[in-house]
Amino acid sequence: MADKAQLQESIKAQGEVVRKLKEAKASKDQIGEEVAKLLELKAQLGTDDGKQMFVLKTPKGTRDYNPKQMAIRESVFNTIISCFKRHGAETIDTPVFELKETLTGKYGEDSKLIYDLKDQGGELLSLRYDLTVPFARYLAMNKISNIKRYHIAKVYRRDNPAMTKGRYREFYQCDFDIAGQYDPMIPDAECIKVVHEILTELQLGDFRIKVNDRRILDGMFAVCGVPDDKFRTICSTVDKLDKASWEEVKNEMVGEKGLAPEAADRIGEYVRMHGGFDLAEKLLQDPQLSQNKHALEGLTDMKDFFKYLELFKITDKVIFDLSLARGLDYYTGVIYEAILIQPLNVHASEELGSVGSVAGGGRYDGLVGMFDPKGRKVPCVGVSVGIERVFSILEQKAEASEEKIRTTETQVLVASAQKNLLEERLKLTSELWDAGIKAEVLYKKNPKLLSQLQHCEETGIPLVAIIGEQELKERVVKLRNVATREEVDVSRVTLVEEIKKRSIQL
């Protein structure tokens, strides 16, 4: 059993990693990740009888949300949904899985990351990879030619998880899309406005929204001498520029993808360019680029785009960046990506520097047609806000601040200092529920007053309604303010009113 000895060594080493992280007070996420690795190693070891040990964990790349995390999530969703509704969007929902063939041929090189379901007889199914393809399928299936909708739901990618950076295998997308035949760039500009509003309201620190256009990229590739059939694959390589250096990207173009070095160098000159309306004007003067039909269209539209963004007063955050490419196959026009810069200075600030992209999207005019039996096209443009990275930041922010997050909304605890009053407590609690008051009662026959008050302090319940023999006789309740410890007798008749009044003040 040399393998076993080796495994035990690994477990020991990994145990050491976890211990050191805990000593160094590393972030919960980071510790959690290393603990997960440790558990996996232990599971490989198994028990003495050779049976695999049962591992108490969530699947790789996924996590539970505890009540505090849910409170943060709820507030983020409220901000995002309010914005989507402010822009007149309705909402839809689709199943978590689709027929496998619905997803086939939509994601290019990323298709290998799709989760398939086991063939248990019947249809072949896959978990949704994004919300865009199901949306396009929905439009085609229901013959809808215009709609503005949002959809907030979980999507699934068998990617290499990096949970400390908020990269999970199960994660939320918050999508806002506008489908319909409209005048150019107007809905496109609204999508950028939506991203701008959301990132501003979430207060995550400063951000930029990079924009480009697939037509400009295609034109650029053409004038640089990239063969037509290499556009998509070279596009995927350019997309890596946010993580890799130009040298690395060039090597991939020339070495792996067989592009001529001169072509790569010419691309290199373009992708260094960024600016705004002026850059679009300048490129329209470029004698070669302006001769290319696609580039000409893209650049002309880009000027309108910036004109609309100017009306929305958001050009200070928007950069026309020729290196932005986006990985997905289905984009046909404008593309964009929002990144956080100078993130909030919380305890793991260096790590946060790499939080990067928090929203992205673009125009995809051909996707719905891929589903329509008659190839009928529905032009679409949309944006997807990636919430997990936002959660990571807000969670760390919440941890760093001393502020206590309440996870319930209970207004009052019904309590007693005396024995044998369970029934009276239940009766009063029930009366409060029926009057719409958020109330709790301890599930003990004779709880101590102290433990009842402690429950309030721990969970942030602001009021206690105390009853005893005397109060029952006088048809009153002693209403106690947990924070000030003030107590007043309130008639049973006016109790509900009194609690409502105090809940507004608190």
* Closest residue by Cα to residue 259 from 219, 289, 231: 231
The nearer residue to its own copies, 187 or 360, going by C-beta atoms, is 187
Q: What letter represents residue 237's amino acid? A: T
Query: For its own copies, which residue of 65, 225, 232, 245 counts as binding (CB under 8 A)?
Result: 65
Q: Which is nearer to its own copies, 299 or 456 (CB)?
A: 456
Main-chain phi, psi angles of 93, to 5 degrees: -140, 150
DSSP 8-state code for residue 256 = I
When binding is defined by CB under 8 A, the residue of 72, 319, 422, 482 that contacts its own copies is 422
Query: Taking CB under 8 A as the rule, does residue 417 contact its own copies?
Result: no
Contact 60, 167 (CB under 8 A): no
DSSP string, 478-502: EEEETTT--EEEEEGGGHHHHHHHH
Please report whether residue 247 would count as binding its own copies according to CB under 8 A: no
Q: Which is nearer to its own copies, 66 or 285 (CB)?
A: 66
Among 20, 28, 75, 99, binds its own copies (CB under 8 A): 99
Which residues have C-beta within 8 Å of that of residue 228, sequence separation ≥ 6? Answer: 222
Report if residue 458 touches its own copies, rule: CB under 8 A: no
Report the C-alpha gap between 137 and 144 in whole angstroms: 10
Q: Please identify which residue in 20, 22, 46, 67 interacts with its own copies, judged by CB under 8 A.
A: 67
- Confirm or reject binding of residue 51 to its own copies (CB under 8 A): no
The only residue of 293, 445, 448, 500 in contact with its own copies, by rule CB under 8 A? 445
Residue 229 near its own copies by CB under 8 A: no
Pairwise CA distance, residues 159 & 243, whole Å: 16
221 sits near its own copies (criterion: CB under 8 A) = no
Closest CA to 383 of 165, 94, 96, 131: 131
**In the range 196-215, which residues lie near its own copies by CB under 8 A?**
197
- 3-class SS of residue 200: helix
Torsion over CA of 62, 66, 71 and 72, rounded to 10 degrees?
-40
| Interacting residues of 243 by C-beta distance below 8 A, sequence separation 6+ | none
Dihedral of alpha carbons 4, 5, 10, 13, sign: positive
Site for its own copies in 25-44 (CB under 8 A): none
Q: Does 96 bind its own copies (CB under 8 A)?
A: yes
CB 323 to its own copies: min, Å: 29
Residue of 37, 42, 158, 274 interacting with its own copies (CB under 8 A): 158
User: CB–CB of 154/96 below 8 Å?
Assistant: yes
CA-based diameter of the chain, in Å?
95
Residues 276-335 that bind its own copies (CB under 8 A): 307-308, 311-313
Residues 353-392 within binding reach of its own copies (CB under 8 A): 371, 373
120 scored as a contact of its own copies (CB under 8 A)? yes
Residue from the set 8, 30, 44, 62 that interacts with its own copies by CB under 8 A? 62
Binder among 78, 182, 248, 293 for its own copies (CB under 8 A): 182
Q: Which CB sits closer to its own copies, 246 or 312? A: 312
